Amino acid sequence: MDLLQRDRQAIWHPFTSLQAPEPIAVISAEGVWLHTADGRKILDAVSSWWVNLYGHAHPVIAEAISNQAKNMEHVIFAGFTHEPAILVAEKLLKLCGENFSKIFFSDNGSTSVEVALKLAIQYWANKGVSRNKILALEGAYHGDTFGAMSAGERNLFNKPFQPYLFDVAFVPFPEDVEKSIAAFDQYCSQGDIAAFIYEPLVQGTAGMRLYSPDFLEKAFEIAERNGVIMIADEVFTGMGRTGRNFASDYISKSPDLMCVSKGITGGFLPLGLTVVSKKIIEVFDHSDISKTFYHGHSYTGNPICCAAANASLDLLISEVMQYNINRITAKHSAFVAQLLGHPKIVRLENLGTILSIELKTNYGQGYTSGLRAFLYDFFIKENILIRPLGNIIYIVPPYVIMDEELDLIYQKIQLMLQNLPAEN
């Protein structure tokens, strides 16, 4: 029995119908290339769901994992500690700035968001203040656990669970900054908003939509005036993806809580981190045990995951990777300039290593657009892995991608534009 037959009998894949076409079997990967069981080489243009920052099977991270596994694979993190976790916390706090005080470990991006939401709600409970409403942006995606779903857009993905989600107020996506700020101000002035959670500068799953830092600059002023906790979901935008270490680095103010995951281990292992400010820590640092944050996971602070994260953080700040991030940014910008005004493109944007293209279509917009199947199939046949968000394609490549590999992607995008169905 071959791999695909065995897969069909035993595996249920994420975000995939059980009647979907068979998946592609990958037997190895290196750099930006996936090697398949049928002998193909597929260029991973989306960093395997945005996690693989430094290329597949990067030797520095692989060696760090191997060395740690031979020494200590795991230890309970309640009442015990170890150097790999301490190093992760020290390195990340140094990158995040003086506003932050501690790191809370969890398992992935969604759980890092759950931690942040729970901390924000308990912050007010510990202070004896009745504030329990969460504010978010329209179009938000923060994960697939219940708190994260609650803070996200109500859509096809979470429709069966909507009766069970807690109530969240949504601010219009800041295409019009003044309109969104007016709504934000109105919500915050009501006095019941515990926290505002946002994806800084880029909404990923909503279509790689970019918005101006001006919105967040003004939002911070209003939040400070009204005591609203600011939660930056940097699960996608962190670790250099936007051209800076974190998208929050484009803003003059620091959030109270920051969620980090995906690229933190370079795509090797799951790990979630919630970065906590001194302001939040103060109301939990108490002799009253009822004010303790009772939250944890069995694999919290796993040493092997921490070893991968330490290697990943070292790679991020290395001269080579910083050069590569700037190089990819420049290449994307030049390609955007080349395509400006194209008749088949509605929206064309780039920030750092992120490039997004929204295509004109008569097949509907959003994730369920009929154009999605055409786009996915087109690029896979050209040996390029791109996962369209409906009628939107995006490129978020590993930082080790070479110029000629980027040029290959750009060439295939231009070929796709030439081959779009006339009445798509």
Candidates 29, 54, 48; CA nearest to 322 is 54
Place of tokens 């590993």: 398
Write b or e for each residue in 186-204: b if 16 or more Cβ atoms lie within 10 A of its Cβ, otherwise e. Answer: ebbeeeebbbbbbbbbbbb
Asked whether the CA dihedral 59, 63, 69, 73 is positive or negative, the reply is negative
Contact 16, 24 (CB under 8 A): no
Question: What phi-psi label fits residue 240: left (phi over 0), alpha (psi between -120 and 50 degrees) or beta?
Answer: left
Q: Which of 288, 300, 281, 240 is nearest to 264 (CA)?
A: 240
Phi, then psi, of 196 in degrees rounded to 5: -115, 120
Cα–Cα distance, 423 to 362 (Å, whole number): 7
Pairwise CA distance, residues 68 & 366, whole Å? 43
Pair 230, 255: CB distance under 8 Å: yes
Kindly report, residue by residue over 116-135, the tens digit of the pLDDT: 999 999 999 999 999 999 99
Q: Are 409 and 397 in contact, with CB atoms under 8 Å apart?
A: yes
| Stated length of the chain | 424
The torsion of the CA quartet 295, 298, 11, 273, rounded to 10 degrees, works out to 60
Please name the amino acid found at residue 196: F
Q: What is the pLDDT of residues 42-69, one digit of tens each?
A: 999 999 999 999 999 999 999 999 999 9
Tell me which residue of 161, 262, 244 sits closest to 205, measured CA to CA: 262
Q: What is the pTM of this model?
A: 0.97
Using CA atoms, how far apart are residues 91 and 76, in angstroms rounded to an integer?
22
Amino acid at 302: N
**Got the DSSP string for 251-286?**
SSSPPSEEEE-GGGGTTSS--EEEEEEHHHHHHH--
Asked if residue 200 lies in contact with residue 247, where contact means CB atoms within 8 angstroms, the answer is: yes
140 and 156 Cβ atoms separated by less than 8 Å: no
Distance of alpha carbon 179 from alpha carbon 335, whole angstroms: 32
User: Which of these, 411, 409, 372, lies nearest to 392 by C-alpha position?
Assistant: 372
Which residues in the chain show pLDDT less than 50?
Answer: none
Q: Using CA atoms, how far apart are residues 261 and 114, in angstroms rounded to an integer? A: 13
CB atoms inside a 10 Å sphere around CB 20: 9
Residue ranges and CATH numbers for the domains of the chain are 3-57+319-419 (3.90.1150.10), 61-316 (3.40.640.10)
Name the residue among 334, 270, 332, 323 with its Cα closest to residue 298: 270
Per residue in 175-189, pLDDT (tens digit) is: 999 999 999 999 999
Q: Which residues of 406-416 are buried (b: 16+ CB within 10 A; e: fewer)?
A: bebbbebbeeb
The 10 Å Cβ neighbour count of residue 96 is 24
DSSP 32-72: TEEEETTS-EEEETTHHHHT-TT-BT-HHHHHHHHHHHHH-
What is the model's pLDDT at position 162?
A: 96
Which helix (H) or strand (E) covers residue 26, if one does? strand 26-30
Describe the crossing of helices 177-188 and 213-226 by its angle, rounded to 10 degrees.
20
Q: 38 Cβ partners below 8 Å, 6+ apart?
A: 25
Residue 48, exposed/middle/buried by CB under 10 A (0-12, 13-18, 19+)? middle
